[in-house]
């Protein structure tokens, strides 16, 4: 679902760190457009070894919000009025402030296209630190075997565990078994890719 309308006037809102997504929801309830860029982080549970994915605010303590468009020739809500008179709103600690250059300056708008760029990047998993994101970005292969083939291509100089571990050999072929053939000038041996070390 698209959250950002690049044609609206957007601002950077300061809020309590850790409450960015909650406060974005609160702003939505009050009629504002609000967007909190999110990154997903993958961790491994120390006991179950299960992969866990957590969503975190990309910009801790900040989110983007936009004023509603004019309805009947007037703004439905106004950030300045909202900040100066928080008692009129149900949640008095909705946010800390709206960014501006100096204390008494006007609120500083940010380009809608920039905010939209954050949303597009988030949808494309640019900020994510997960296996799925790394595969989508081409940083990682889908399987361990494919990852090892990329790490140890044909022609690579490697060291293999065993009697030849002190001698560099050259990979000449990847086998369907997941092993490789390594040439040591006068002899060719097979080795497990998991037990190779790069000579580079």
This prediction's pTM: 0.66
pLDDT digits (tens, 9 = 90+) for 8-48: 889 999 988 888 998 888 888 877 889 999 999 998 887 88
Residue 86: band (very low, low, confident or very high) from pLDDT cuts 50, 70, 90: very low
DSSP one-letter string for 114-127: HHHHHHHHHHTTSS
Domains of the chain: 10-136 (no CATH), 144-198 (2.30.30.140)
Q: Provide the 8-state DSSP code for 102.
A: S
Q: Provide the 8-state DSSP code for 124.
A: T
Tokens of 193: 């890719």
Check residue 39 and give its pLDDT. Answer: 96
What's the angle, vertex CA 75, arms to CA 97 and CA 4, rounded to 5? 65
Q: Is the pLDDT of residue 57 over 70?
A: yes
Q: What percent of the chain has pLDDT over 70?
A: 86
Check residue 72 and give its pLDDT. Answer: 61
Check residue 103 and give its pLDDT. Answer: 78
């Amino acid at each position: 679902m698209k959250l950002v309308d690049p044609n609206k006037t957007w601002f950077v809102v300061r809020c309590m760190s850790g409450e960015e997504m909650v406060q974005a929801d609160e702003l939505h309830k009050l009629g504002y457009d609000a967007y909190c860029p999110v990154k997903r982080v993958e961790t491994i549970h120390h006991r179950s070894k299960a992969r866990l994915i957590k969503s975190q605010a990309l910009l801790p303590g900040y989110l983007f919000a936009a004023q509603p468009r004019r309805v009947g020739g007037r703004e439905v809500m106004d950030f300045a009025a909202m900040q100066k008179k928080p008692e009129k709103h149900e949640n008095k600690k909705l946010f800390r402030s709206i960014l501006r250059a100096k204390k008494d300056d006007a609120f500083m708008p940010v380009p809608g296209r920039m905010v939209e760029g954050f949303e597009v990047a988030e949808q494309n998993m640019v900020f994510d630190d997960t296996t799925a994101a790394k595969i989508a970005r081409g940083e990682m292969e889908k399987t361990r075997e494919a990852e090892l083939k990329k790490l140890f291509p044909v022609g690579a100089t490697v060291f293999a565990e065993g009697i030849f571990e002190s001698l560099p050999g050259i990979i000449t072929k990847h086998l369907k078994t997941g092993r490789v053939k390594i040439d040591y000038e006068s002899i060719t041996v097979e080795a497990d890719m998991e037990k190779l070390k790069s000579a580079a």
